[in-house]
Amino acid sequence: MKHAKQQKGLSLVELMVALVIGLILTAGVIHVFLGNQVAYRETQRFSALQDNIGFAVDFMVRDIRGADAIAETTSPEGISVIRHRDAAVCGVSGSGSEVIYHVDGDSLRCGPAGDDTDPILVQGMRPGSVLRFDPQPDPLPSGTNPIGAKITLTFTSQASEGGPPRHHSLTFHVALRGPILSNLPNP
Chain segment 101-159, per-residue pLDDT in tens: 999 988 899 888 888 888 889 988 888 787 787 887 777 777 777 888 888 888 988 76
Parallel/antiparallel/unpaired status of strands 165-175 and 132-136: unpaired
Q: Would 117 be classed as within a structural domain?
A: yes
Q: Would 187 be classed as within a structural domain?
A: no
pLDDT of residue 25: 95
Please give the Cα distance from 38 to 31 (Å, whole number): 11
pLDDT of residue 1: 59
Please give the Cα distance from 71 to 98 (Å, whole number): 11
Q: Is the pLDDT of residue 37 over 70?
A: yes
Q: Would 139 be classed as within a structural domain?
A: yes
pLDDT over 90 for what percent of the chain? Answer: 12
Range of the structural domain that residue 62 is part of: 19-182
Q: Would 10 be classed as within a structural domain?
A: no
pTM: 0.74
Q: Would 109 be classed as within a structural domain?
A: yes
Q: Would 5 be classed as within a structural domain?
A: no
Number of domains in the chain: 1
